Amino acid sequence: MSIVTTTDVFVGLDYHESSVQACVLNAEGKVLMDKSLPNRVEAIVAACQRFGVVRSCAVESCCGAANLAKELHEGGWNVSLAHPGFVARMKQNPDKTDFADARILADLLRVGYLPKVWRAPDEIVELRRLVRYRQQIVDQQRANKLRIRALLRDERIALPESSGSPWTKKWKQALRDLTQLRETSRWILNQHLDELERQASRLREAEKRLEDLVVADAVVIRLRTFAGIGLITAAVMRAEIGEFDRFTSGKQLSKFCGVTPRNASSGPRQADAGLLKAGNPLLRTVLIEAAHRLMRYDDKWRRLSAKLKCAGKPTSVTVAAVANRWMRWLFHQLQPAALAA
């Protein structure tokens, strides 16, 4: 009677748009395969499973990699997304090749040192795309307004106060009625104003879709019960943070959000160096803006800000501290057990 043996193998995948470099290692770290494969799940599975049972697989996180990881996971593989920045630093090699990248992913996975990235579920991915699309429109609006301001400065035109507040309908109509502009400048100004109207319409449509997407989301509903927290703030936090229980502590969550002070101590010198230069810029911006509102509308955070100001802390430090403490507190408020209560 023949005995069939199986070997556990570890797979590292270096992702490209049309191909994937696949490295297969056994438990002792021996390279069983390292070759370029077509970027198709069936081709990857067929090539790697010839060498044994795929115990786990690692893909470096990049555009498109999460979708491949999802398809492999649905096929029965245990797939992890790897943090590209940490992997590059751990490699400690100035040379970069697909062979080396795939191999280090498989090796880090084999020894249990792979720096992993959370793989968001489909509903969070969709929300994240919509939140970032809305922010793109906001950025385009800002750029358009700056161009209009630059044109007015270049022509040395200042609208009278009777025209109303900037960017109101009355103010924009006053721009269209300007007689000091030459023909080409007037045409350009009208093009910018027309584009602003289109962007405003797109923004309203995006926010309506955003409202519909999160109407039944328990985390967003809970966030919007806090003073000063509206749809956009809650949606951005839900999209960029995802599941609050994937963090082990409030401190870890705060670090992820980029609102934790960076330590710059050395020997007897103890110092801070501002906020961590990490995290999602949109999320950090939203949290700092939320902290400003919390300091105005919520007694708990108003008292904390007053205490810090009395201790001589600058306003910027006070706001960042409120954002930091709020995220640490929020970690406990948005655990599944707390949401269900």
pLDDT above 90 for 3: no
pLDDT digits (tens, 9 = 90+) for 14-33: 999 999 999 999 999 999 99
Residue 137: per-residue pLDDT: 98
**Which distant-in-sequence residues (6+ apart) come within 8 Å of 169 by Cβ?**
none
Q: What is the DSSP string of 2-48?
A: ------EEEEEEEE-SSEEEEEEEETT--EEEEEEEES-HHHHHHHH
Indicate the helix (H) or strand (E) that contains 75: none
Which sequence spans correspond to the domains of the chain?
8-117, 122-213, 218-340
- Which CATH class name applies to 8-117? alpha beta
pLDDT digits (tens, 9 = 90+) for 107-126: 999 999 999 999 999 999 99
pLDDT above 60 for 184: yes
In the chain, DSSP assigns E strands to 8-15, 19-26, 31-38, 53-60, 79-82, 116-117, 261-263, 272-275
Question: What's the rounded mean pLDDT across residues 126-148?
Answer: 97
pLDDT above 80 for 97: yes
Strand, helix or coil for residue 120: coil
Give me the amino acid identity at 158.
A
Rounded Cα distance between 219 and 127, Å, is 13
Residue 271: per-residue pLDDT: 60
pLDDT digits (tens, 9 = 90+) for 212-229: 999 999 999 999 999 999
Name beta bridge partners: 80: 58
- pLDDT-based confidence at 2, cuts 50/70/90? very low
277 backbone dihedrals φ, ψ, rounded to 5°: -85, 60
- The count of other CB atoms within 10 Å of the CB of residue 109 is 22
pLDDT above 50 for 4: no
Cα distances (Å, whole numbers) of residue 69 to 37, 50, 214, 239, 255:
15, 20, 26, 20, 26
Strand pairing category for 79-82 and 53-60:
parallel
- pLDDT-based confidence at 57, cuts 50/70/90? very high
Question: What's the rounded mean pLDDT across residues 226-240?
Answer: 95
Average pLDDT, the chain: 91
pLDDT above 80 for 76: yes
